[in-house]
Each structure stands twice: as C-alpha cells, then as structure tokens.
C-alpha cells in the first residue's frame, strides 16, 4: 500500500504563485488573515484557531507600513539636502510643494509580493508508511511547512516579513509577503522587486521550488511558458520557410491562469473594501505632508514640536533638520542682503546731501562758510563710521564692501 501511494505522490506538483501587492493592500490582507473580512464562505471557522504564523510578529503589517513611511520622509530629506547643496533653488521649492514620494518606481503590479505555496489536497491526505518521518509522527503538513519556510528564507532572506499557514480551508497552504528593500547609489531606500532573481524570472522560481520540494516526492509544475515560447518560435520558423503568415502558431499550450474563482472573488472584495480607506488615508497623508513641508519652508517650530517622539526628539526635526537649517540660513542671508541694501541707499542720500551743502556754501560769505565747515567735520566723521560698517557687512571672502 505504501509503495502505491509513493508512486501517486510523484505525480503531484508543488504549486507556487506570486502576486504583486501595493502597501495599501496590506489592510485587506490582514482582515482576511484574521478572518474579519473578505470572502469567508470557503473557511471552516471551527478550524481557524489552527492557523499559525510562521514568520514575523503579530503586528508585522503595521511595522512594514511604518518602515515604508519612514523611507518616504528620509528620501525626501535627502533630496532637499542634495538640492540645497547644489543650489537648485527652483527645484528645491518645487520639491517642497510636491512632498515625499513613494519609495518605488511606477508599476502596475506593486512593489510587494504575496507568495502562495501548496500542493494537491490528496498529497496532504496520503500517509506513506514507507516514510520514516511519518512513522515518528511528523505530518505531511509539518514537513511541507518546514520546507516552505526554509525555501522562503533561503530565497528572499530578511525581505520575507511575514508567512502564515492556513489550515481552515479546503487545502493546506502557506502565504508569505516579501518586501524587497534596496538602497540606491545616492543613498535612498527603495522597494525593488527585481533585486530578487526569483521574482524577476518566474520560470526560475518554479525551477527553484521544484528542486527544493523534490525530497518530499513533489515535482515542478508544468513548463507552460516555456512551451508557449517554443510554439511561437516554431511558428516564426515556419513563416520564414514560406508558411501562411496569417496562421496562428500550431500546438499552443493552453494558457492557464492559476487563480481559482474563490480567490478571484476574495481579491476583488479586498480591493473594493480598501478603496474607500485608501482615499481617506491619502487625504490624511497629503495634509500631513503639506503641514510638514510648510513648517520646513517657513521655519515654524510649533508644527515640528507637535510631531515629537516619546524621547523628546521630533521625527520631522530629525529627518528635515539639515534641510530646515539650510533654508533658515538662506532666509538669514536674504535678510542681511536686504538690510545692507537699505543702509547703502541711506548712505548715498546722506552723501548727496553733504555734497549739496558744500556746493551751496561756496556762494555764502566767508563767515558763514567757516560755520558750515565746522559743522561738516562732525558729519564727515559719522559718514566715515557708516562707510566702515557697510564694508563689514560684505559677504565672507569679498575683498571690498559695497561701492561707496
């Protein structure tokens, strides 16, 4: 009997699926994980207590969202600091208005990946008497689970932020979330799925998981994409040899989308449920970004103090500190320049008045001219003092002060 089951086992493939996610999708994912939302018609609630976390803390989703929010703000601070160093004032003003950006490149799939690993329910139900592990009481689910956790960690390392085993549905399966962190050359933190070769190349991922689970008697899934490529290549070859150009490639493999109707309904329900929450979240985020950006631009310490952490340090002040200091320095320079220009104008007026007095005195009698000369001695001393003060206000490194 055991030998017959072993032969059947070898016919079952290990199933691997990957689906892109945006950070905003995590709320719906968590509602379904905790069985508080989503399509629960296929769930046996009497067994939901058997579901278990395999990787990550209970608040893994909140931690991930907080980390992504910190990436946004830190990247924003680095951009402002870089623009300030390069004296790109116009770009600096524009970026302050735009606010922090998402730490990933535009993608229709999303920067995160949900990974699902399972096998046919018949494989889990079978009990191989020839397998010594089963004789020691270790179930197939436990052996599959350990292999899945090891494969996830070996393939994605610390970027696997969550994994769980669901035992309350028709077939035992494992869900995992991969958050692919990467740092760019200019020091910004980004989410970059392509950093992992198994995300970048789906066929390579199928090869990897097939090899990993071979020791459990499972095999790789069908190579549908490879068969499709070979059929297309054959069609092109036939066209080059003179076949009809409007004929479709022969023997195309059936294109199968590995999503059951239940999973499709669940996904759509999560998306609809999240849509309203996403709009509200984005509005709140926009208000916060505008508030912080305005505080940085205007140097308002009250707003920064409102965001103070328990340790007394302001997260905004810490992340925007350098940019804020640079902007404040520019404001001081502008004020000094304006004051210097005003004093220079007043000095020119005084000097012009003194010249007029000298010109008028030339037409006066000798006695009157002597009195004016005595009065001008005190005025000349004040003009000289004012001239020296203006020169001191010259920028560092400028050899001469304003033209006087």
What is the edge-to-edge ordering of all strands in the sheet holding 173-178?
A: 15-21, 112-118, 173-178, 160-166, 52-55
- pLDDT value, residue 220: 87
For the chain, the average pLDDT equals: 75
Q: Looking at residue 8, what is its pLDDT?
A: 43
Q: Which of 106-110, 118-122, 255-259, 334-338 has the lowest mean pLDDT?
A: 255-259
Q: Which helix (H) or strand (E) holds 17?
A: strand 15-21
- State the first-to-last Cα distance of the chain, in angstroms, to the nearest integer: 108
Confidence of residue 208 (pLDDT cuts 50, 70, 90): very high
Q: Could you read off the pLDDT of 31-58 as tens digits, one per residue?
A: 999 988 877 888 888 999 999 999 999 9
> Could you list the residue range(s) of the whole structural domain that residue 334 is in?
323-392
Confidence of residue 287 (pLDDT cuts 50, 70, 90): low
Tell me, yes or no, whether 147 and 230 share the same domain.
yes
Instruction: Give domain status of residue 100, yes or no.
Output: yes
Residue 404 belongs to a domain = no
**7 and 102 together in one domain:** yes
pLDDT bucket at 130, cuts 50 / 70 / 90: very low
The reported pLDDT for the residue numbered 159 is 97
Helix 60-85 / helix 89-98 crossing angle, nearest 10 deg: 160
105 and 181 together in one domain: yes
**Is the pLDDT at 123 greater than 80, yes or no?**
yes
Where does the pLDDT of residue 248 fall: very low under 50, low under 70, confident under 90, or very high at 90 and above? low
Least confident residue range of 290-294, 368-372, 393-397:
393-397
Who has greater pLDDT, 95 or 386? 95
Q: How confident is the model at residue 399 (pLDDT cuts 50, 70, 90)?
A: very low
φ, ψ for residue 120, nearest 5 deg = -65, 145
| Co-location of 96 and 172 in the same domain | yes
Mark whether 235 and 345 lie in a shared domain: no
Closest CA to 212 of 149, 156, 163: 149
Statement to judge: residues 42 and 179 lie in one domain:
yes
Tell me the C-alpha distance between 370 and 372, whole Å. 5
Residue 228: pLDDT over 50: yes
User: What residue spans of 86-139 are helical by DSSP H?
Assistant: 89-98, 121-125, 132-135
Q: How far does CA 126 lie from the centroid of its chain?
A: 44
pLDDT range class, residue 177, cuts 50, 70, 90: very high
Partners of residue 113 on adjacent β-strands: 20, 178
Four-CA torsion 361, 364, 370, 375, nearest 10 degrees? -40
Q: What is the pLDDT of residue 381?
A: 66
Structural domain contains residue 228: yes
- Percentage above 90 pLDDT, the chain: 34
**Domain shared by 143 and 56, yes or no:** yes
Residue 164 is assigned to a structural domain of this protein: yes
Rounded to whole angstroms, the Cα distance separating 397 from 245 reads 76
Chain segment 308-330, per-residue pLDDT in tens = 444 444 454 555 555 555 555 66
Pick from 147, 169, 157, 179: which is nearest to 67 by CA?
A: 179
358 and 290 housed in the same domain: no
Number of domains making up the chain? 2
pLDDT level of residue 195 (50, 70, 90 thresholds) = very high
Q: Indicate if 110 and 153 belong to the same structural domain.
A: yes
* Confidence (pLDDT) at 337: 72
Q: Is the pTM of this model over 0.75?
A: no
- Domain-embedded: residue 303: no
Please answer whether residues 144 and 216 qualify as being in contact, where contact means their C-beta atoms are separated by less than 8 angstroms: yes
More confident residue, 172 or 273: 172
Residue 26 confidence (pLDDT) above 90: yes
* The pLDDT of residue 344: 72
**pLDDT at residue 234 above 50?**
yes
Residue 210 has pLDDT above 90, yes or no: yes
Minimum mean pLDDT range among 114-118, 160-164, 310-314, 359-363: 310-314
Mean predicted confidence (pLDDT) in 320-346: 64
- Cα–Cα distance, 179 to 23 (Å, whole number): 9
Residue 25: its pLDDT value, please?
94
- Kindly tell me if the per-residue pLDDT of 135 is higher than 50: no
212 shares a domain with 64: yes
Higher-scoring residue by pLDDT: 195, 339: 195
**pLDDT surpassing 70 at residue 383:** no
CATH of the domain at 202: 3.30.930.30
Q: Are strands 181-183 and 173-178 parallel, antiparallel or unpaired?
A: unpaired
Query: Strands 160-166 and 181-183: what pairing?
Result: unpaired
The per-residue pLDDT for 221 is 77
pLDDT level of residue 107 (50, 70, 90 thresholds): confident
Residue 314 falls within a domain, yes or no?
A: no
> Is 173 part of any domain?
yes
Average the pLDDT over 255-284 and give the result: 56
**Is the domain of 290 the same as that of 328?**
no
**277 with 357, same domain?**
no
Domain-located, residue 370:
yes
């Amino acid at each position: 009997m055991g030998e017959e089951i072993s032969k059947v086992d070898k016919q079952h493939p290990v199933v691997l699926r990957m689906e892109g996610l945006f950070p905003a999708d995590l709320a719906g994912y968590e509602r379904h994980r905790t069985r508080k939302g989503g399509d629960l018609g296929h769930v046996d609630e009497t067994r939901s207590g058997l579901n278990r976390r395999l990787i990550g803390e209970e608040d893994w989703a909140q931690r991930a969202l907080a980390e992504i929010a910190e990436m946004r703000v830190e990247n924003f601070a680095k951009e402002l600091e870089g623009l300030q160093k390069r004296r790109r004032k116009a770009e600096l003003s524009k970026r302050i208005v735009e606010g922090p950006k998402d730490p990933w490149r535009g993608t229709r799939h999303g920067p995160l990946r949900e990974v699902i690993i399972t096998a046919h329910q018949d494989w889990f139900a079978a009990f191989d008497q020839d397998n010594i592990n089963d004789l020691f009481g270790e179930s197939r689910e436990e052996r599959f689970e350990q292999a899945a956790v090891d494969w996830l960690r070996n393939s994605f390392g610390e970027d696997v932020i969550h994994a769980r085993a669901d035992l309350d549905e028709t077939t035992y399966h494992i869900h995992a979330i991969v958050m692919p962190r990467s740092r760019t050359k200019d020091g910004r933190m980004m989410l970059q799925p392509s950093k992992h070769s198994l995300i970048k190349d789906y066929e390579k991922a199928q090869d990897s998981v097939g090899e990993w689970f071979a020791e459990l008697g499972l095999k790789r899934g069908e190579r549908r994409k490879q068969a499709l490529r070979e059929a297309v290549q054959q069609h092109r070859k036939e066209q080059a040899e003179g076949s009809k150009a409007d004929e479709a490639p022969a023997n195309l493999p059936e294109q199968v989308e590995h999503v059951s109707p239940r999973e499709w309904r669940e996904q759509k329900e999560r998306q609809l449920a999240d849509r309203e929450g996403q709009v509200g979240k984005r509005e709140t985020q926009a208000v916060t970004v505008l508030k912080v950006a305005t505080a940085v631009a205007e140097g308002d310490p009250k707003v920064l103090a409102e965001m103070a952490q328990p340790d007394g340090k302001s997260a905004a002040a810490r992340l925007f500190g350098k940019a804020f200091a640079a902007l404040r320095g520019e404001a001081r320079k502008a004020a000094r320049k304006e004051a210097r220009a005003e004093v220079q104008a007043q000095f020119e007026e005084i000097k012009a008045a003194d010249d007029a007095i000298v010109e008028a005195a030339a037409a006066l009698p000798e006695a009157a001219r002597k009195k004016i000369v005595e009065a001008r001695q005190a005025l000349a001393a004040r003009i000289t003092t004012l001239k020296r003060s203006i020169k001191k206000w010259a920028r560092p490194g400028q050899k001469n002060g304003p033209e006087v």
